[in-house]
């Protein structure tokens, strides 16, 4: 009964903490930020009409005297083989990049944009065809010019600026509310050896432990490489995975203040490279090697990358990511077959010791809670194990050795771009999205229940009976919202485990216990 109450307490505490964290992250007020001063704008002469959101003061800045900025709602669009790019003419900011393969936008509609020339007030925009693609050029009468060199195919843009008054290029604007960065994940800076990353939510909301003095986070330290997660998935109320990125590669570290990151010119000139594309190793490596770290493989990143290399090798043979995951699971199960066999045999062996263990407990029961006698009972039990050549930790060690593999697989299958919108068969049309009919989560939970019911176990029967139902139910609920590729992996893994456990139990011969 005591063990059961402890389990109830732990589960209830986790549920309460998760609910409190969700409520605090959903309803906490965004941090107030000081607004940059701007010169008064003349009142519009046209009749009032609905307009798109105007750029934030940090992105727009004070307009250069002597210029007449274009209408803030005016945009310019250019399509390549991979994207449809949209700029705001008045600031030269890249407001949107749309992935043409499936229409996925990189940013929310209210996003402030990338690469705004502060205070330029551009009047015109034009295109020039070049051998390497198309140049989109923003200009004004004061001599400010901002040029985006866009290739016909590929993910890397070159950005060049000219400003007689040394205006800065706003690389990433720091918003004052959630709306401009809704559904976006992290903003980060990179060095040769590490990534400094912070989510927008962590900067715009009070942390859960703010009552203990925890503070909101700030933008990561300035660097010559920086960027943010991108890709707003369709019909996503909340988004955990981001398969695209917008990355800046600069000739020198960017400036950082409350408005965000800026690139300051040298001699009125500036240049930078901008990557807009998927988080895939090959194009990121071609852009620059350190940028491959934006693919979040989790704590066991090296293991996850090795496992993904194996998965890709399998995919090259079968040509379908779903079947690749199935065969990959078989390979992982075969590689850990010996460890799982030792674990199951150790549990069967513990079952053989159970009568002797209960006899010892009955022998010392009369001493109640005497700690000295409990220590003597434990010593006598360990001597019994040693006499029979049994290690009671033999069932736990194989499980612990496999944990890095499981955690690395979890991170890898959640992060890789290759699984995004990859079909399997039937109703599974996207391995990166949840099973729409929850069939595989239910099958996974059922296989987990069957494996637990088959596996020999010792301990309190009431506690075992409760966990026999509770754990599969919790895992089914959890996997119902997980990517289908991950759920398929664990289902196949459990089914092979069922077959392995059945075979071991069928061939196991109990050995007599030496007392």
Q: What is the pLDDT tens value at each position of the chain, 515 positions in all?
A: 333 443 444 455 445 544 544 444 443 333 333 333 333 333 333 333 333 333 333 333 445 554 566 788 899 999 999 999 999 999 999 999 999 998 999 999 999 999 998 877 899 999 999 888 999 999 999 899 999 999 999 999 999 999 998 889 999 999 988 899 988 999 999 988 889 999 999 999 888 887 787 888 999 999 999 999 999 987 666 777 899 999 999 999 999 998 999 999 888 899 999 999 999 999 999 999 999 999 988 888 888 999 999 999 999 999 999 999 999 999 999 988 888 888 888 777 777 777 777 787 787 777 777 788 778 888 888 888 777 777 776 667 667 777 888 888 888 888 899 999 999 999 999 998 889 999 999 999 999 899 888 876 666 677 777 777 888 899 899 889 888 998 999 999 999 999 998 898 888 877 777 76
Question: What letter does residue 54 receive in the DSSP assignment?
Answer: P
| Burial of residue 345 (number of CB atoms within 10 Å: 0-12, 13-18, 19+) | middle
H helices present in 365-483, as ranges: 371-387, 397-415, 439-454, 461-479
The per-type count for the chain, helices as H runs and strands as E runs, is 12, 17
The residue assigned the tokens 């007392």 is: 515
Q: Where are the domains of the chain?
A: 1-30, 57-296, 305-507
Nearest to 124 by CA among 135, 107, 136: 136
What is d(CA 500, CA 506) in angstroms, rounded to the nearest whole number? 10
What is d(CA 290, CA 226) in angstroms, rounded to the nearest whole number? 11
What is d(CA 285, CA 506) in angstroms, rounded to the nearest whole number? 51
What is d(CA 456, CA 453) in angstroms, rounded to the nearest whole number? 8
Q: Are strands 83-88 and 93-99 parallel, antiparallel or unpaired?
A: antiparallel
What is d(CA 197, CA 15) in angstroms, rounded to the nearest whole number? 28
Fold observed for domain 57-296: Beta-galactosidase; Chain A, domain 5 (2.70.98)
CA distance from start to end of the chain: 31
What is d(CA 139, CA 420) in angstroms, rounded to the nearest whole number? 39
Cβ(90)–Cβ(38) under 8 Å?
A: no
What is d(CA 204, CA 217) in angstroms, rounded to the nearest whole number? 8
User: pTM above 0.85?
Assistant: no
- Dig out the tokens for 369 from the structure: 């809670």
What is d(CA 93, CA 350) in angstroms, rounded to the nearest whole number? 67
């Amino acid at each position: 009964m005591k063990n059961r109450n402890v389990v109830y307490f732990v589960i209830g505490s986790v549920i309460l903490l998760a609910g409190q964290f969700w409520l605090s992250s959903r309803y906490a007020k965004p941090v107030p930020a000081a607004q940059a001063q701007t010169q008064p704008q003349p009142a519009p002469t046209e009749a009032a009409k609905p307009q798109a959101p105007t750029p934030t003061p940090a992105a727009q800045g004070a307009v250069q005297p002597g210029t007449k900025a274009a209408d803030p709602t005016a945009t310019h669009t250019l399509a390549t083989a991979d994207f449809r790019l949209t700029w705001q003419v008045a600031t030269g900011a890249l407001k949107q990049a749309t992935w043409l393969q499936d229409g996925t936008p990189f940013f929310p509609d209210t996003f402030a944009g990338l690469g705004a020339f502060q205070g330029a007030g551009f009047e015109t925009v034009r295109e020039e065809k070049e051998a390497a693609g198309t140049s989109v050029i923003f200009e004004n009468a004061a001599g400010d010019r901002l040029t985006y060199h866009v290739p016909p195919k590929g993910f890397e843009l070159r950005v060049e600026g000219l400003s007689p008054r040394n205006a800065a290029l706003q690389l990433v604007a720091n918003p004052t509310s959630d709306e401009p960065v809704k559904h976006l994940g992290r903003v980060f800076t990179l060095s040769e050896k590490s990534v400094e990353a912070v989510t927008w939510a962590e900067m715009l909301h009070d942390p859960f432990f703010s009552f203990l003095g925890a503070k909101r986070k700030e933008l990561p330290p300035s660097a010559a490489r920086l960027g943010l997660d991108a890709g707003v998935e369709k019909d996503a109320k909340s988004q955990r995975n981001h398969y695209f990125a917008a990355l800046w590669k600069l000739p020198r570290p960017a400036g950082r203040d409350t408005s965000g990151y800026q690139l300051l010119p040298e001699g009125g000139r500036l240049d930078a490279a901008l990557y807009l594309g998927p988080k895939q190793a090959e194009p990121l490596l071609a852009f620059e090697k350190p940028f491959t770290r934006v693919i979040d493989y989790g704590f066991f990143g090296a293991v996850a990358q090795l496992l993904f290399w194996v998965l890709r090798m399998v995919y090259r043979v079968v040509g379908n990511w779903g079947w690749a995951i199935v065969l990959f699971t078989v390979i992982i199960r075969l590689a850990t077959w010996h460890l799982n066999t030792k674990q199951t045999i150790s549990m069967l062996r513990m079952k053989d010791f159970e009568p002797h263990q209960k006899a010892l407990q009955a022998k010392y029961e009369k001493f109640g809670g005497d700690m000295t006698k409990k220590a003597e009972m434990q010593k006598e039990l360990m001597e019994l194990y040693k006499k029979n050549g049994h290690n009671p930790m033999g069932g736990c060690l194989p499980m612990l050795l496999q944990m890095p593999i499981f955690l690395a697989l979890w991170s890898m299958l959640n992060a890789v771009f290759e699984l995004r919108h990859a079909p399997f068969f039937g109703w599974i049309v996207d391995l990166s999205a949840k099973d729409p009919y929850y069939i595989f989560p239910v099958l996974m939970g059922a296989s987990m229940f069957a494996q637990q019911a088959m596996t020999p176990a010792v301990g309190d029967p009431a506690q075992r009976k409760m966990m026999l139902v509770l754990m599969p139910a919790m895992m089914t609920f959890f996997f119902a919202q997980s990517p289908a590729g991950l759920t398929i992996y664990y289902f196949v893994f459990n089914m092979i485990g069922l077959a392995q456990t059945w075979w071991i139990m069928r061939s196991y011969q109990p050995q007599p216990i030496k007392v």
